[in-house]
Amino acid sequence: MDKQELHLEEYKLCQDTVKHLESLIWRTSSIIGLGLLGSFIAIATGLGKDSLGIGTLILLAAVVIASCWIWWMMSLKWWDIQHTTIYRMRDLEIELDFYQKRYIDFRDGYMQVPVSFRSDQKEVLQYTHKFAKRGIQKSLKWFPILMTTAWLLFIIIQILRIVKLI
């Protein structure tokens, strides 16, 4: 195998890694999200209310909150690996004269469109602010915060009910 074939093979492996990590993040967030929200709704609406003491609720809340934050830390690591892999793909694109990832960078405004491009390519790839907003991590970071807040408020309300302050 020559150098270009090796780079092409590595590029394909990088693509597979990026797809796998993206899938992993979304599948685990869906499973954990539905499970945690479902358990909170079940407990908060009174399912099994008579059978669960405050100690059990506190333990359940601790497990749920810890699970949320562990998932979040794992997801951040997965995103770091994914983005590092994408940076490697950009390096390989230069070697292979590919533009798949770099086209996105042009549209995001992170890279200037090369002057050697045709005018119609430059027009399509010009920075339009349309793609520059990245925010899935910003949005998903609220999930563990909201779950932690909801469970803590729920436990506080239960404790206040037990001591008959509300």
- pLDDT tens-digit map of 99-134: 888 887 777 777 788 888 888 887 877 776 665 555
φ, ψ for residue 135, nearest 5 deg? -160, 5
**Is the Cα dihedral 155, 156, 161, 163 positive or negative?**
positive
Q: Give how far the C-alpha of residue 6 lies from the chain's centroid of Cα atoms, to the nearest Å.
A: 31
Token duo for residue 144: 């563990």
The pLDDT tens digits for 69-99 are 998 999 899 989 998 999 999 999 989 988 8
**Is the Cα dihedral 124, 128, 133, 134 positive or negative?**
positive
The pLDDT tens digits for 10-69 are 999 999 999 999 898 889 888 888 887 787 787 777 755 556 677 888 888 888 889 889
φ, ψ for residue 160, nearest 5 deg? -65, -35
**Is the Cα dihedral 146, 38, 74, 86 positive or negative?**
negative
